[in-house]
Amino acid sequence: MSEPGAEWEPLEPWKHPNLLEVRLLNDRLSRKSVLINLLTLPLAATAAVATVSRASADAKSPQSAVQYQDKPKGDAKCSGCKFFQPGKDANAKGQCQVVAGDISPDGWCVVYSKKS
């Protein structure tokens, strides 16, 4: 501690490197920059998730990857699956929400899930 009555001298940053580091840190982390970053981060994360979700929703599995076949497996067939979208008539090929390509209503694959 200094003696009573001693004059106060301002700190010189070049003599106190830690003080200079604190000053630089404070300059980079203003309240405004912190708030902007806090508001921007969730928006960027939401946009990234939406992009990934859309890409995975548009991608369908190839028929070979799900062991698709044009004939039923027992009583299980595509026309009774919740993912099947029928064609123009009962015998026409349709589409699947999960499997790529034309799908026979009498077909089957490992993704089969009985309609409820």
pLDDT at 22: 56
Residue 73 lies in a domain: yes
- Distance CA(100)–CA(62), nearest Å, equals 5
Q: Are residues 80 and 52 in the same domain?
A: no
- Number of structural domains the chain divides into: 2
Residue 4 lies in a domain: no
Q: Are residues 49 and 97 in the same domain?
A: no
Range 5-9 average pLDDT: 63
Task: Tell me the residue range of the domain where 73 lies.
Answer: 60-116
Q: Which amino acid is at 15?
A: K
Range 19-39 average pLDDT: 66
Domain boundary among 39, 58, 77: 58
User: CB count, 10 Å around CB of 105?
Assistant: 19
Residue 46 lies in a domain: yes
Q: What angle do CA 79, 84, 87 make, to 5 degrees?
A: 80
Residues in the chain: 116
Residue 1 lies in a domain: no
Residue 49 lies in a domain: yes
Residue 23 lies in a domain: yes
Q: Are residues 116 and 64 in the same domain?
A: yes
pTM flag (> 0.75): no
- Distance CA(58)–CA(35), nearest Å, equals 36
- Distance CA(59)–CA(109), nearest Å, equals 17
Residue 3 lies in a domain: no
Q: Are residues 47 and 66 in the same domain?
A: no
- Output b/e per residue, 58-92; b: 16+ Cβ within 10 A: eeeeebeebebeeebeeeebbbebebbeeeeeeee
pLDDT at 67: 96
Residue 50 lies in a domain: yes
